[in-house]
Structure 1
Amino acid sequence: MKLTPIGPAALVLALSAATLSACGGGGGGGGAGGTDAPADYVDGATFTLGLSSDPGNLDPLMGAGSALFAVTQFAYDPLVSVDGKTGEIGSQLATDWTVDDTTVSLTLADDITCADGADLTATDVADSLNFVADPENQSPFLGTFLPVGAKAKGDDATGTVTLTLASPSPFVLNGLGSLPIVCPSGMDDRSSLAKATSGTGPYELTEAAPGDHYTYTLREGYTWGPGGAGTDQKGLPAQVVVKVVENETTAANLLLSGGLNAAQIAGPDGDRLEKSGLSAAETTGLVGEQWYNHADGRVTSDPDVRMALTQALDLSELADVVTSGRGGPATTLAVNEPVACPGDSVSGALPAHDPDAAASLLDAAGWQEGGDGVRTKDGQRLEVTFLYQNNLGSSGDAAAELAVQQWKAIGVDATAKSQNETTLTGTIFGAGDWDVAWVSLNVGSPDQLVPFLSGPAAPDGTNFSAIDDDDYQAGVDQAMGMTGTDSCDTWLDAEALLVQKADIVPFANNTVRTFAKDAEFETPGQLVPLSIRMVAK
């Protein structure tokens, strides 16, 4: 699951997806991964990727932020791959797989090695899966990429991993396609994973300078990428430098000067990059998603307050501002391509803009107008702490200011605070001081959102908003007993129930652009390391 660079992935505050190749600067013809490499692909180069937030602790199984998810792709592999255009399951660590009701069997490719030279066995894979499956470890991927109650067992003689589920799971392979597998050295010493890597991926972390950059070096002899892709392809960078650039305008300037080869630009800076001749991978991502803190003791624990705060907002206007006029209304809660359940669970359920109704609802709930324009109840002022992520750029700042004005008009004293992904994630998952947050979780299938919309509240679980909705849970229970896309209508109906009650307020999709300079790449969900091709300047 991704909370987003447009959002948090993520939660996964997940990086928004893009599904087509991009080339910039002196980029030549031919797509990444083609059988005939263009003559202007160059070997031995360095690819520099800009991220708007530092990934923090690098343990790939213990964080749901999009920055961490982005860097994880370089050093770790999942069991299977998911085609970014068709949604078809393909090989990666596993070359064969079957799903039979509650039993998933996967056969590993031959001769897989970890970056430290150790062989990866079926038992090692099972150990990694069982770590996530153990609730005591509190991995945010339990229930997101791995079904709750799953148990794994490895047979080293046959190279087979058997995953036994507690109940059928409609999109279990999709989840496994996003779950990184950790090698034995990392499993034995998890503290080592904070600033180092222990994976089978095509790159290995060789330098970590938290807050500034992370350097990954290409591995030789890697042959088990998606569809059998390896690191012997012409144009793959010898090194990848992931540079932390929090300011979007600075990232745009570095793209133009050649200081970056790739960066996701959400705001108006993208327009000048486009006019300069840089091309970009584009996709639809959920960029406007409003969450309320339902926890006891917060003013937003009151459903009347949540509904009033929602009715006070002109969500169409907010969508236009936050996307700089490039986006539109939200449609579903799971929009990462390839979308498992296309449809619209939002437009018919979203509460209408009605400030008068919002004011009346607060009146009825006992929140009386004060002399300074701020409502009070039993001596308590109607104050809300409103957090939003800094990677929305200047358009995010403008949209946040507009929301505060519209809340002020109905007597709410809202304080807006822009935070980077690491700080924002720490606040909401740490049961910190917040009432409203704009956090966009971008995932591909609706089952991946269940731990964020139900179950144990943060800090004991990933349900950071502390949502407790019996109707949604009933829909989840029904959908989980169905097969694949047969469950989609049930999933969308369950989502609509949350939106109708203003338990969660998705309000904007956008065309998210990942710009490129002197490089080509593909980014279905996350940037695909083996798709990168360096182009002669």
Structure 2
Amino acid sequence: MKRKLSLILSLVLVLTLVMTGCGKSEEPKPANGGDEKTEESAGDANNPAKGRDGAEDTLVIGTHETKGEFLPGYYSETYDGYVVDLVFDGLITNDKEGNPIPLAAKDWEVSDDHLTYTFNLRDDIKFSDGEPLTAEDVEFTYTFICDPNYDGPRTSAVADLEGYEEYNKGDAEKVSGIEVIDDHTIAFKFTKALSTNIWNFGHGIMPKHVYEFEKGDIDAIKAKMTEPMGSGPFIFEKYEPKQYVEFKANEDYFLGSPKFSKLILKFTNVETQFSELEKGTVDIQLSVAAKGENKEILDGMDFVNIVEYPENSYGYIGFNMRDPRLADKKVRQALTYGFNRDQFAEVYYQGFAQTCNVPISQVSWAYTDEINEYKYDPDKAMKLLDEAGWKVGKDGIREKDGKKLEFVWSTHTDSKYVETMIPMLKSDWEKIGVKVEADIMEFAALSEKVYEKQEFDLYNMAWSLDVDPDAYEIFHSSQDQKGGYNSVGFKNEENDKLLEQGREEFDQEKRAEIYKKWGQVMNEELPYMFLTQANRWDVANKRVKNFETSPFQDIQDRDVILNIELE
């Protein structure tokens, strides 16, 4: 299920190109799947992964380090989302085209007024301890997110439920909009008819008998953050921070047991991923940066395939609009005109990416290209800064009212993307009278700085996007709160109005028109400097068969992980 704006935060573009907002990535490729090299070679005979101890029944996947947020209501990054989605099942998921389909639910009905969703659950699902999954577990999962002391990023999934306010802020013992009809039937009643409501039901269902807590005692459930237990295709076994997460196959999984008995998510980075592939110590490396120099390295390994497809994500630099200097639209536009993003994309990706100008992916039905491309134009940038009253000082840095246009750019380690950008951005902005210094830290520390503390001038990340183009959680003014995704403090009436209209409309063609207008507003206002949308490369050892990720289905999706076979 892709309902994880998973920055969740995904770094998918930035860390290994690469995380996760609202624009998607690649364009020239089809949105319905990846191109996989299938030719066999003599290299298979010397495939290092085949000689690895235990390789015959163990799949090792290389991915970025997790934060250890392994509960459905709390994970904020794509990488923790992999763990959550492997261990837990939601009521729904999505198919390869991005349409909602049943998972733990066998089907659902929507009332004529679009306010009530009634789910009929499968009766053959068990948690990994053998207890059956019932409607009470579903009720518990969503009530947990309604808790008065809940401090995770999923509030928007429940905030419009009938009875949310009474439970969250009052003395109600239950959420009236969640009704358990019988063991395998549950209904949710919303106060607003929104086309996006269906996507609130992809959150993993948590067993009540394992996670139950007294209302308000949210720390009791957070104490089990690194002990996930659900009904998914894999059973959590072990977590070694900074090293790996280990799972075993759920042999009783209701959709059929995985075709291998052990799964390891091994934490890799841009410095180690190629050596891990070459040694055969990982079978699949997710999100290898799509760039020319990496293609040369991979072409030298005749025992791997590249699965390539347009990434449903985009990279960006966020402007803290609480800072009076950055609250001025002309300054944000000048900074965007003043950075040669096309040159950066060419230098880093070498033809495998392009610049991004809206927070909507080109694989989305909502994408529009009727926008300003902000081609590199330092003269225009300087003119805008002049108009905004920022004059060049004696030291070459622009100043106004005793303040200077000098910024600290908060960014993260383990990223060639960042290493490439730093000198280019500093040089380009220096030409227009703007100084920037990079403050480099671990990604977990950056996430805390940006989302929990909101203490930054500029920062860069990437968004791994939802199937639906709705970006309410990222850009609506109501989400400007600590812990929320509107970390830049963007507040704009037209933005809010269009985001609300996009959710309230059920006709997709009309929604597309709304999001076209919204994209144009975002292109004008620039709460982010949109950077790049690139192709995604997932690299798999040739001993891994039937592996096919795509823009709307990642490694943890059931159509992907349950089809993989090892030889």
Q: What TM-score comes out, normalization by structure 1 length?
A: 0.85
- 2:139 is the alignment partner of 1:132: no
The CA deviation string for residues 143-172 of structure 1, in whole angstroms up to 9 with x for no partner, is: 3xx263125524262511212122122233
- Look up the SS of the partner of 1:217 in the other structure: strand
- 2:562 is the alignment partner of 1:531: yes
Q: Which amino acid aligns with 1:88?
A: N
Shift in alpha-carbon separation, 1:411–1:187, aligned structure 2, 3 A: farther
Say if 2:339 and 2:376, in contact at 8 Å, map to a contact too.
yes
Equivalent residue for 1:103?
116
Say if 1:386 and 1:436, in contact at 8 Å, map to a contact too.
yes
- 2:206 is the alignment partner of 1:182: yes
- 2:225 is the alignment partner of 1:194: yes
Quick one: percent identity of the two aligned structures?
A: 18
Shift in alpha-carbon separation, 1:44–1:126, aligned structure 2, 3 A: farther
- Look up the SS of the partner of 1:490 in the other structure: helix
Q: In structure 2, which of residues 191, 196, 203 is the aligned counterpart of residue 171 of structure 1?
A: 196
- 2:530 is the alignment partner of 1:499: no
- 2:297 is the alignment partner of 1:272: yes
Q: CA deviation at 1:306?
A: 1.5
Q: CA deviation at 1:24?
A: 8.3
Equivalent residue for 1:371?
394
How far apart, CA to CA, are the structure 2 residues paired with 1:252 and 1:83?
31
Q: In structure 1, which of residues 254, 257, 265 is the aligned counterpart of residue 279 of structure 2?
A: 257
- 2:420 is the alignment partner of 1:413: no
Equivalent residue for 2:484?
461
Count of residue pairs the alignment pairs up:
505
Say if 1:290 and 1:437, in contact at 8 Å, map to a contact too.
yes
How far apart, CA to CA, are the structure 2 residues paired with 1:218 and 1:381?
57
Q: CA deviation at 1:243?
A: 1.3
Equivalent residue for 1:159?
184
How far apart, CA to CA, are the structure 2 residues paired with 1:414 and 1:420?
19
Shift in alpha-carbon separation, 1:69–1:396, aligned structure 2, 3 A: same
Q: In structure 2, which of residues 316, 341, 346 is the aligned counterpart of residue 320 of structure 1?
A: 346
Equivalent residue for 1:34?
none
Shift in alpha-carbon separation, 1:372–1:14, aligned structure 2, 3 A: same
Equivalent residue for 1:150?
161
The CA deviation string for residues 435-458 of structure 1, in whole angstroms up to 9 with x for no partner, is: 222222121345542121122324
Q: In structure 1, which of residues 118, 123, 133 is the aligned counterpart of residue 136 of structure 2?
A: 123
Q: In structure 1, which of residues 105, 114, 119 is the aligned counterpart of residue 127 of structure 2?
A: 114
How far apart, CA to CA, are the structure 2 residues paired with 1:465 and 1:456?
10
Say if 1:315 and 1:507, in contact at 8 Å, map to a contact too.
yes
How far apart, CA to CA, are the structure 2 residues paired with 1:445 and 1:94?
19
Equivalent residue for 1:81?
93
Shift in alpha-carbon separation, 1:110–1:290, aligned structure 2, 3 A: same
- Look up the SS of the partner of 1:422 in the other structure: helix
The CA deviation string for residues 52-81 of structure 1, in whole angstroms up to 9 with x for no partner, is: 232333223112211111222211111112
Shift in alpha-carbon separation, 1:15–1:504, aligned structure 2, 3 A: closer
Say if 1:45 and 1:534, in contact at 8 Å, map to a contact too.
no
Equivalent residue for 1:478?
501
How far apart, CA to CA, are the structure 2 residues paired with 1:261 and 1:24?
16
Say if 1:14 and 1:64, in contact at 8 Å, map to a contact too.
no
Equivalent residue for 1:282?
308
How far apart, CA to CA, are the structure 2 residues paired with 1:19 and 1:502?
31
List aligned pairs for 1:371-390, cutoff 5 A. 371-390=394-413
List aligned pairs for 1:281-430, cutoff 5 A. 281-285=307-311, 286-295=313-322, 297=323, 299-330=325-356, 332-335=358-361, 339=364, 341-344=365-368, 348-390=371-413, 393-430=415-452
How far apart, CA to CA, are the structure 2 residues paired with 1:388 and 1:82?
33
- After superposition, the CA RMSD in angstroms is 3.1
Equivalent residue for 1:207?
238
How far apart, CA to CA, are the structure 2 residues paired with 1:11 and 1:304?
22
Q: CA deviation at 1:275?
A: 4.2
* Unpaired segments ≥5 residues, structure 2: 43-53, 163-176, 214-219
Q: Which amino acid aligns with 1:514?
A: D
How far apart, CA to CA, are the structure 1 residues paired with 2:11 and 2:382?
34
More displaced, 7-16 or 261-270? 7-16
Q: Which amino acid aligns with 1:324?
A: Q
Shift in alpha-carbon separation, 1:140–1:99, aligned structure 2, 3 A: same
How far apart, CA to CA, are the structure 2 residues paired with 1:322 and 1:370?
33
Equivalent residue for 1:237?
260
Shift in alpha-carbon separation, 1:259–1:396, aligned structure 2, 3 A: same
Shift in alpha-carbon separation, 1:332–1:383, aligned structure 2, 3 A: closer
- Look up the SS of the partner of 1:73 in the other structure: helix
Q: CA deviation at 1:331?
A: 6.3
Q: Which amino acid aligns with 1:294?
A: M
How far apart, CA to CA, are the structure 1 residues paired with 2:271 and 2:483?
37
- Look up the SS of the partner of 1:71 in the other structure: helix
- Look up the SS of the partner of 1:288 in the other structure: strand
Say if 1:128 and 1:187, in contact at 8 Å, map to a contact too.
no
Shift in alpha-carbon separation, 1:135–1:366, aligned structure 2, 3 A: farther
Equivalent residue for 1:6?
12
Say if 1:386 and 1:416, in contact at 8 Å, map to a contact too.
yes
The CA deviation string for residues 449-498 of structure 1, in whole angstroms up to 9 with x for no partner, is: 21211223241532111110111111122222210513121022112201
How far apart, CA to CA, are the structure 1 residues paired with 2:186 and 2:264?
34
